């Protein structure tokens, strides 16, 4: 690859767009109105990092495969890099308060801390931070 990638859009199917937007708003994420309508909403994660929350019928138009049943399957783990352990804890606690399902993990690596939750549509999110001083 001759040039670095400029950004990323992760597309996730959702059952109820308004409910999903409300959930992620409670986690302090914002949405780009230029890429938001009744079929989808563009959640801003960071500079050039976006998650498109797309209603299932619209999402189906982009693929010829079935949407994963997140009650028994994981189609992806969306991992966000936090700045600190406190930020990991805060974001996961906000997610739980907004209705997310906590996903316990055994965190045995000394140089990283992470937690997981499933959002309202069962998508698995992992929030992690690294302590580079501990990495050897």
Q: Please, where are the H alpha helices in 27-103?
A: 56-60, 85-97
pTM of the model: 0.88
Express each pLDDT in 61-86 by its tens digit.
999 889 999 989 888 999 999 998 89
E strand intervals along 1-136: 8-14, 30-32, 40-46, 49-55, 77-81, 101-103, 112-118, 124-130
Q: Provide the pLDDT for residue 135.
A: 55
Q: What angle do CA 33, 37, 41 make, to 5 degrees?
A: 65
What is the distance between the alpha carbons of residues 20 and 41, in angstroms, rounded to a whole number?
9
Contact, 107 vs 114, CB < 8 A? yes
The CATH classification number of 8-130 equals 3.10.180.10
Checking if the pLDDT of 44 tops 60, the result is yes
Express each pLDDT in 90-121 by its tens digit.
999 999 999 999 988 877 777 889 999 999 99
């Amino acid at each position: 690859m001759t040039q670095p990638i400029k950004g990323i859009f992760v597309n996730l199917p959702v059952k109820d767009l308004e409910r999903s937007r409300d959930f992620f708003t409670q986690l302090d994420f914002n949405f780009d109105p230029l890429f938001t309508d009744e079929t989808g909403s563009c959640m801003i994660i960071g500079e050039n990092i976006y998650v498109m929350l797309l209603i299932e019928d619209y999402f189906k138009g982009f693929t010829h495969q079935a949407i994963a049943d997140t009650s028994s399957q994981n189609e992806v783990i969306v991992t966000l890099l936090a700045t600190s352990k406190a930020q990991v804890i805060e974001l996961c606690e906000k997610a739980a308060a907004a209705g997310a399902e906590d996903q316990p993990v055994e965190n045995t690596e000394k140089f990283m801390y992470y937690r997981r939750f499933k959002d309202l549509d069962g998508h698995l999110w992992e929030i992690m931070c690294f302590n580079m001083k501990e990495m050897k």
